[in-house]
A and B are shown apart, each in its own frame.
Chain A
Amino acid sequence: MVNARFFDGKTAAAQAVELFLDGSNLLLRNTDLELRWPLHEVNISERLGNTPRLLTFAGGGHCEVTDHAALGDLLAQLGTRHSWLDGMHHSLAWALLAAGLIVLSLLAAYRYLLPWGAEVIAMRLPASVLQKMGSSTLDTLDKFMLQPSKLDAARQREITAAFARLQAPSAAQLRYHIVFRSSPEMGANAFALPDGTIVMLDELVALTQDDNEIVAVLAHERGHVEQRHAMRMVLQSSAVGLVLAWYVGDVSGLLATAPAIIMQAKYSRDMEREADEYAERTMRANGLSPCLLASILDKLEASHLAKTDAKQPAPDAASKREVMDYLSSHPATQEREKLLCPAK
């Protein structure tokens, strides 16, 4: 026998009733009411925490049962078993296992699904999209960070021609061109935009003794473009940003963006390695030594460290270097140089 409250579905009135099992029927009874339903016309709601369970009858009306033990006994007589989902929702072991599996599946999605998805999409984007992204990025950079180059036109032509002579190891997918800029704050640097524009800074040109070192950097940047690295980065960080913003919800937009950028750094390391490999193949295909890229990398690092050290008091610089290396988007330079130029 189970105590329940019966509602007929027509009015809000509650009636205290008793439920019995009567063969293949469910019997509902109180002093002035006696109703009977075949069991297959009764929908018994699953357990949900400690909430009242509902027995809904075909043709309207339902019972609310708060006596879980009594209803459990009645259902046991029927041989009804909890569904597997019901079991999962009410066990602490499953809750802990679920927490573990959630972390695992998120890590797996981040490590494998995200880069794969970004690559698939990036490789299929039409050239017009890349063009648009490239030119708008260059406009923004020109406005806020870059200044016109001070190199004379003849020197610019020389470098452009050297790059033009460089043969790609496989057929190029995009049209490349070099733009010259200067930026004292960024220091010696060069970077590629999604549309094939390579920005070469005066500071980097000044650092080189051999023009083939510049060619090596250009080959490396070209590797980034050929493999759509910039586009993939944008896609990945916007996906991560979207998920974090949804997860963090209304806590704060700021919280959502910082980790996205830090986490993305790991991918950039893989991408740097890919671009190095591309540059290495290009250099070999043109009869040039990959050691040229290693040597310019060495100089670049020295120049950037000198710049940091100049700003920081000496003891602090060392610790800063370690932190920077851990978070930095460039893999440890020595590691890269060893890969490019094992003989050195």
Chain B
Amino acid sequence: MQMQQQQEHAFEFTGSGWEYFKIWIVNLLLSILTLGIYSAWAKVRRLQYFYRNTRLADASFDYHGMPKAILKGRIIAFVMLMVYSGAMKLSPALGITIALMIAVVMPWLIVRSLRFKLYNSSYRGLRFSFAGSDGGAYTVFLLFPILTALTLYLLMPFTHQRIKQYQHCNSQFGDTFFNFDAPVKSFYGVYLKVLGMGLGLGFLAGLFSAVGLTFLLLLLPVVFLFVMAYMAVSLPNLIWNSTTLGEHTIQSKLEVGPYLWISFTNLLGIVLTLGLYIPFATVRMLRYKLEHMSLMAQGDLNEFVAGQEQAISATGEETAEMFDVDISL
């Protein structure tokens, strides 16, 4: 057997802001005119645009979700949201009861959502899939978050690590499993650095507050954005750099400076154009993230083989999306 050569394949994003703008605005119009029904079709187009523009080793990804399955999920999510907000208005006690019920079904929904999302994603004609169990989901999405709250968030990095481990170790491309080996202490490392930075910069701000309150009010948002950007960059880096697919490894090299610049100018653009800049902002951010990721292939990418396919309802995914439990991937 010969030593296999390691080869770096960078992710590429070939989409453009203008092109996406045209798709986005027509999607928005049709969604409004159909009172939201078209949004399921819009979502498929949007994801297909993003997936097909994502290229790796000279082939693109694809999305196969069925609009009708997504619409079904959206209707269920909408009804749940209405019931919740209606109950909250009538009596907080009833609202909290409904919220608790939603919390209890949420892990179940997340599993369906992950299955739907991965099953409907493909690369080179092979589907991804998710094999996580409901029991595992209840542990990481319900039990650990409760423990986290009870320990005043001391367990948050631990819970985050377990969630990613559950998610990535149960994901497959074809019949090849992903693996995730970031130790818990590396998550504590990032969280502690964020906490330290927040405290340190807060202390500095306190010193500067002697200069004047206006100065402090200008400084605080900058400090806040910087810490947020640090977190938004370090966690994906840690997570992806600890993820492997078979014998291939993944690399993510996001940096705080460019990330901060892109998010700040995006925010500015969106506010100044009353939202018309949104598609351009989305494309810019996606391009930055993807083009700083690569797959370190150990040998031939052609050797992946298809796994078993299974039909999955979209309900799980859509309900989870509307309640925004979609954890950053």
Contact = CB atoms under 8 A, between A and B. Distances in A.
Interface of A: 5, 7-14, 45, 48-52, 54, 61-62, 64, 85, 88-92, 94-95, 98-99, 101-102, 105-106, 129, 132, 242, 247, 251
B44 to A, nearest CB: 10
B275 A247 contact: yes
A253 B53 CA distance: 33
A10 B270 CA distance: 44
Contacts of B211: none
A324 to B, nearest CB: 26
A252 to B, nearest CB: 9
Contacts of A12: 123-126, 174, 301-305
A187 to B, nearest CB: 31
Given A50-B14, A64-B59, A7 B32 contact: no
B25 interface: yes
A10 B19 contact: no
A272 B22 CA distance: 43
Given A12-B304, A48-B48, A102-B32, A92 B22 contact: yes
A48 B23 CA distance: 8
B305 A50 contact: no
B29 interface: yes
Given A9-B125, A51-B53, A102-B29, A64 B275 contact: no
Nearest to B127: A9
Contact of A50 (B16, B45, B59, B62): B16
Contacts of B154: none
Contacts, number: 108
Interface string B50-87: 00110000111010000000000000000000000100
Contacts of B270: 251
A85 B34 CA distance: 14
10 closest A-B pairs by beta carbon, nearest first, are: A7-B125, A51-B52, A13-B302, A12-B304, A49-B19, A98-B29, A12-B124, A95-B22, A98-B25, A9-B125
Nearest to A6: B125
B124 A98 contact: no
A105 B60 CA distance: 37
Contacts of B62: 54
| A contacts with B: majority SS | mixed
A89 B23 contact: yes
A91 B19 CA distance: 9
Given A51-B60, A64-B60, A94-B26, A105 B32 contact: yes
B207 interface: no
Contacts of A88: 26
A10 B305 CA distance: 6
A51 B22 contact: no
Contacts of A64: 59-60
B302 A14 contact: yes
Contacts of A48: 23, 45, 48-49, 52
Contact of A99 (B23, B25, B49, B126): B25
A102 B28 contact: yes
A69 B60 CA distance: 19
Contacts of B304: 11-12
Contacts of A242: 85
A99 B125 contact: no
Contacts of A106: 32
B20 A49 contact: yes
Contacts of A129: 90
17 contacts: A7-B124, A10-B305, A11-B126, A11-B304, A12-B303, A45-B48, A50-B14, A50-B15, A51-B48, A52-B60, A61-B125, A85-B26, A95-B26, A98-B26, A99-B276, A101-B33, A102-B28
B60 A11 contact: no
A197 B29 CA distance: 44
Contacts of B32: 102, 105-106
Contacts of A13: 124, 302-303
Nearest to B58: A14
B267 interface: yes
A57 to B, nearest CB: 10
A62 B62 CA distance: 11
B145 to A, nearest CB: 20
B306 interface: yes
B96 interface: no
B52 A89 contact: no
B25 A105 contact: no
Nearest to A248: B275
Given A12-B124, A102-B28, A251-B270, A94 B22 contact: yes
B271 interface: yes
B146 to A, nearest CB: 25
A331 B296 CA distance: 68
A9 B126 contact: yes
A85 B30 CA distance: 10
Contacts of B267: 251
Nearest to B123: A12
Contacts of B15: 49-51
B158 interface: no
B28 A5 contact: no
Interface in B261-296: 267, 270-271, 275-276
Given A9-B306, A52-B52, A52-B60, A14 B124 contact: yes
Contacts of A92: 22
B138 interface: no
Contacts of B20: 49
Contacts of A11: 126, 302-306
A94 B29 CA distance: 10
B21 interface: yes
B243 to A, nearest CB: 18
A51 B20 CA distance: 11
Nearest to A49: B19
Contacts of A105: 29, 32-33
A52 B55 CA distance: 10
A45 B62 CA distance: 11
